[in-house]
Amino acid sequence: MERRSYNWFEKRRKTKGLELAHEQIEKAFDTVTWLHKATRSFSEGNLKEAKEHIENLYEAEEKVDKLRTDVFMELSKGIALVADYREDLLHLVKRLDTLADHTKDAARCLEMLAVAKIPKELCEKTVFMTSKLVETAQTLRNSIEKISSNPAEAMEQAKKVGEIEHLLDEEYLRAKSLFVKYGTELNCGAMVIFDDLIEFIEHAADMCADTADYIFVLSSRE
């Protein structure tokens, strides 16, 4: 009876932890979506709308931070989960938090570029990169949602995350190559900030791929 009670408690704790992770990826996905909307508005010259999207991104990022703390607290209550599972789940939520941090950093760069005139081709490259980031994060979300209900599908979706991230990485290198073409049109400060912008987008995609690695582990345990 005691062992059965322990199993019930462990399952409940694991379920609650995953539920919070689900909620966290929702909010992390929101930051990615707002970043894409902000870069699109920026590219169209609608700076006021871009600023509104960025403010929404900051709000969503704060919620991701809070949910990370909630997961940590949940997994520290009472009898602990099996150590390996707990550690992998904690690694997953920490990476979701870092994903949101990178999108916030990208948004800050976009804010600073509001006073600069960025060539249209560079703006369009950024919009395309954030659209691929949305696709990457969406696939990651699908994967996390399937960890318990369909582990095989979760692992398949996690594999797709890496494939999409690779495409985004290639686009990042193409965007960097345009710096030579537009070097005379941008001052050094704007060039450095724009470089940081696309680098943070690329880092966010990398973090999605890193997070997907833990989904493989968690799904295999299911």
Q: Is the pLDDT of residue 41 over 80?
A: yes
Q: Please state the separation of Cα 185 from the chain's center in Å.
A: 32
What domains sit in the chain, N to C, each tagged with a CATH number?
2-221 (1.20.58.220)
pLDDT score at 4: 42
pLDDT score at 39: 98
127 against 19, higher pLDDT: 127
pLDDT score at 127: 97
pLDDT score at 71: 78
Residue 186 DSSP code: S
Residue 212 class from Cβ within 10 Å (0-12 exposed, 13-18 middle, 19+ buried)? Answer: buried
Q: Is the pLDDT of residue 203 over 70?
A: yes
pLDDT score at 5: 38
Place 9 in a pLDDT band, splitting at 50, 70 and 90: very low
Which is nearest to 38 in space by CA: 138, 105, 119? Answer: 105
- In this prediction the pTM is 0.86
Cβ–Cβ < 8 Å for 96, 42? no
pLDDT score at 11: 58
Which is nearest to 22 in space by CA: 122, 118, 154, 123? Answer: 154
Place 7 in a pLDDT band, splitting at 50, 70 and 90: very low
Mean pLDDT of the chain: 86
Residue 80 DSSP code: P
Cβ–Cβ < 8 Å for 93, 67? yes
Q: Give the H/E segment covering residue 216.
A: helix 188-221
Measured distance CA(186)–CA(178) in Å, rounded: 11
Read off the amino acid at residue 178: L
